[in-house]
Amino acid sequence: MSLLQDLINLNLSESTEKIIVEYIWIGGSGMDIRSKARTLSGPVTDPSQLPKWNYDGSSTGQAPGQDSEVILYPQAIFKDPFRRGNNILVMCDCYTPAGEPIPTNKRYKAAEIFSHPKVVAEEPWYGIEQEYTLLQKDVKWPLGWPVGGFPGPQGPYYCAAGADKAFGRDIVDSHYKACLYAGINISGINGEVMPGQWEFQVGPSVGIAAGDQLWVARYILERITEIAGVVLSFDPKPIPGDWNGAGAHTNYSTKSMRSDGGFEVIKAAIEKLKLKHKEHIAAYGEGNERRLTGRHETADINTFSWGVANRGASVRVGRETEKNGKGYFEDRRPASNMDPYVVTSMIADTTILWKP
């Protein structure tokens, strides 16, 4: 096994200019992250230097067997924390051989919205709070929970330390450092209210970069849990009953919101979100109705609400934003399994481009 570790940790740059590129894309379910690797002749710094590639879309639920080729377009490069050296990860989106975005390519429409001159001028910033649950591999029950049983009720686990309260910290810390190494703007981590549940935050990131960075952070977490023999779940309500669900609270601001008088801009934006509440909920993740019950720090799924420092509202405005008269707000509705390309671009579209 020590020899195997030596081989995994080989520094390729000592013997070759060649690099390994891991092409990453999103599969047919919208939550399955796929990847495969290829060798290139030397280091690469820009996605435009990378060749397009293809994969069998019939094996990912994205193309029929008789015409199964899907084309990968490289979009964003990150350093590879697993292979290290000059090796890279590249986030891709997916097209037909004729150059049309396939139906599950949510990045394409998001990029269109983020390249609109009015959106570019507003410099939309995002900070996404990604919650997730670690499960024991063979029983699919949260890490640290007695098999077939329950731990003590919620209370002592949030941001806690101790063998009886924090489960999986080695995975979480590994992920934190790996994301920083990769060049992802990960801004923090914490243990969540339900034992076995954790959160990491990505941002502030501008425009389409928020989606690219969150997807690659998810990919890195999938790889680390694979190594650890633990199952990663983005289910918005993994355990029914009196346990917190998992969300992806999305913090948002524009240049106008961050400038003097921004609180009025924020209130106008929230009013627009209220008018499009149903459309946003429909796009904010599958199974979200199991999470947005009006309990466990959520608002009811059918009712839009907002408030200052209110974690039981659909949208929360921070005390500091109210005090300063400018800043950001937090959309608390997105589920942990939301697509960040969809959510971030939809918020920008509704608050900047849409005219009621």
What are the extents of the domains in the chain? 3-104, 117-353
* pLDDT in the model for residue 237: 97
Alpha helices by DSSP H, listed for 53-136, are 106-114, 117-122
Q: What is the pTM of this model?
A: 0.97
Residue range 117-353, CATH number = 3.30.590.10
**CA 81/CA 40 separation, integer angstroms:** 18
Task: Report the amino acid identity of residue 292.
Answer: L
Low-confidence ranges of the chain (pLDDT < 50): none
326, 261 contact by CB (below 8 A): yes
* pLDDT in the model for residue 310: 83
* pLDDT in the model for residue 115: 98
Give the DSSP letter of residue 300: B
**CA 175/CA 113 separation, integer angstroms:** 30
In this structure, which topology does domain 3-104 adopt according to CATH?
Ubiquitin-like (UB roll) (3.10.20)
**CA 105/CA 30 separation, integer angstroms:** 9
**CA 192/CA 199 separation, integer angstroms:** 6
Closest residue by Cα to residue 38 from 51, 20, 56? 20
Sign of CA dihedral 281, 286, 292, 297: negative
Residue whose structure tokens are 């435009």: 48
Segment 159-202, tens digit of pLDDT? 999 999 999 999 999 999 999 999 999 999 999 999 999 999 99
